[in-house]
């Protein structure tokens, strides 16, 4: 296997790892906190509503936006590491 092929495989393995981390965080926040754990979070007040409701209405969206920035930041670091950064 050539060095270039090894770099491509390493790049995509790291890329898939970042995507998997983002998907797990997204699922935990949007489904876990807003749906599955809502009864446990009902007693906690946040922003004038219970925390489970807040995650369902606003928190999931805010976390999704934060994940977009996290993914972009991580991909910039990854592209720099593997020498495929765009100018």
Which alpha helices (H) appear in the chain, and where do they start and end? Answer: 3-27, 38-41, 51-54, 60-82
Closest CA to 33 of 74, 66, 61: 61
**How confident is the model at residue 77, as a pLDDT?**
94
Residue boundaries of the structural domains of the chain: 19-81
- pLDDT, one tens digit per residue, over 21-67 is 999 999 998 888 888 988 888 889 888 888 888 888 888 899 999 99
Residue 6 scores a pLDDT above 80: no
């Amino acid at each position: 296997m050539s060095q270039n092929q090894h770099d491509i495989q390493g790049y995509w393995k790291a890329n898939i790892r970042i995507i998997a981390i983002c998907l797990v965080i997204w699922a935990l926040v949007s489904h876990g906190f807003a749906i599955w754990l809502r009864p446990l979070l009902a007693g906690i007040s946040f922003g004038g509503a219970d925390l489970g409701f807040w995650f369902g209405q606003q928190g999931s969206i805010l976390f999704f936006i934060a994940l977009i920035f996290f993914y972009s930041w991580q991909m910039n670091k990854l592209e720099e590491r593997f020498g495929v950064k765009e100018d």
